Amino acid sequence: MTAPDNRAMDTRWKPSVTVAAIIEQEGKFLLVEEHTPEGLRFNNPAGHLDPGESPVSACAREALEETAHTFTPTGLVGLYLSRFQRAASGEDITYLRLAFCGELGLLDPTRQLDKGIVRTVWMTPDELRASAVRHRSPLVLRCIEDHLAGQRFPLSAIYTDPTVTAPLPR
């Protein structure tokens, strides 16, 4: 019997955890158009979960940074896992996305949009479906379709232990 290759065990695989805001008003969805290595793409207001924050607070922060609007998550639309391989570099990334619906708040007209964000845009479901080739990932449309189907889970389904947000002991 051959001994297992321990090199693979030295590094634990970890997906990139992201949060996304699914924002609907009057039958349209708020998206961002952003620069990516693949060109200009549409995405839900979304980004990475940062150390020391809960998924809910991360979603509110990302929505503000990318749209200049406050956003209050009220429900979890779903958890999504996807894999992306960048054509140019061969980089292989797996994303774990938590998508939230909620209430869009006020616009801060003095706030700059996050680096790489060109603009915000409102799109109908049909416009979203027609522009799928320009989506940052297949999860953009999938999250919206699930939202349209009424898929919702309570925020209480996500528990963030206080150790996550507590200051580190000195």
Residue 148 has pLDDT above 70, yes or no: yes
Three-state SS for 111-130 is CCCCCCEEEEEEECHHHHHH
3-state secondary structure of 41: strand
Distance CA 144, CA 88 (A): 29
Segment 91-102 mean pLDDT: 94
Q: Does the predicted TM-score (pTM) go above 0.85?
A: yes
Domain boundaries, given as residue ranges, for the chain? 15-152
CATH class of 15-152: alpha beta
Segment 63-74 mean pLDDT: 98
Residue 6 has pLDDT above 90, yes or no: no
Name the strand (E) or helix (H) holding 95: strand 92-107
pLDDT tens for 25-66 read: 999 999 999 999 889 999 999 999 999 999 999 999 999 999
Range list of β-strands (E), 13-86: 16-22, 24-25, 28-36, 39-43, 46-48, 69-85
Phi, psi angle pair for 136, to nearest 5°: -60, -35
